[in-house]
Amino acid sequence: MGKPRILIVDDEASLARLLKLNLEQLGQYEVRIEHEGRRALDVAKEFEPDLILLDVIMPDLDGGAVASQIQAEPRLKATPIVFLTAIVSSQEARHGVIGGHPFLAKPVSMDELLQCIDKQLYA
């Protein structure tokens, strides 16, 4: 089996690039970025990620709508989704769930992100 594939869907280009670089530096993941919510489904179908990190608030299509599209796709419906959001604090996000999916507060620490990724991929 190859490296787990992670798709980052976030309109904040600098944050998405930083997450991608940090994850790829570990040598354990293959990471792809998409900045537009409306393109996320097509990219996910092509990339076939093992996990999706999904921003909640994006200008073109919000994360909830993107998650619904992804879950409606038979090949992707079991793909874990972790929401990323700046609308809550890290303290509020500790046990947070949006629509059955965990969420992390931005800016997210790498330790917290890696723990969440491990839990979603290997639990």
- What are the residue ranges spanned by the domains of the chain? 5-122
pLDDT higher for 107 or 88? 107
DSSP 8-state class, residue 75? T
Give residue 101's pLDDT band: very low, low, confident or very high (50, 70, 90).
Answer: confident
Q: Is the peptide bond before 102 cis (omega within 30 degrees of 0)?
A: no
Q: Give ∠ CA 85-88-91 in degrees, rounded to 5.
A: 120
Q: What's the pLDDT score for residue 100?
A: 75
User: In the Cβ-directed half-sphere of 112, how many Cα atoms lie within 13 Å?
Assistant: 15
- In the three-class reduction of DSSP (H, G, I as helix; E, B as strand; rest coil), residue 12 is classed as coil
Judge if pTM exceeds 0.95. no
Residues 96 and 83: their CA atoms lie apart, in Å, by 10
Give residue 65's pLDDT band: very low, low, confident or very high (50, 70, 90).
Answer: very high
- pLDDT tens per residue across span 11-36: 999 999 999 999 999 999 999 999 99
| Buried-exposed string 29-53: b where 16+ CB fall within 10 A, e elsewhere | bebbbbbebeebbebbeebebbbbb
Q: What's the pLDDT score for residue 14?
A: 95
Kindly tell me if the per-residue pLDDT of 123 is higher than 70: yes
Q: Give ∠ CA 73-51-94 in degrees, rounded to 5.
A: 115
Strand order in the sheet with 97-98: 30-34, 5-9, 51-55, 81-85, 101-105, 97-98
Homologous superfamily assigned to 5-122: Response regulator (3.40.50.2300)
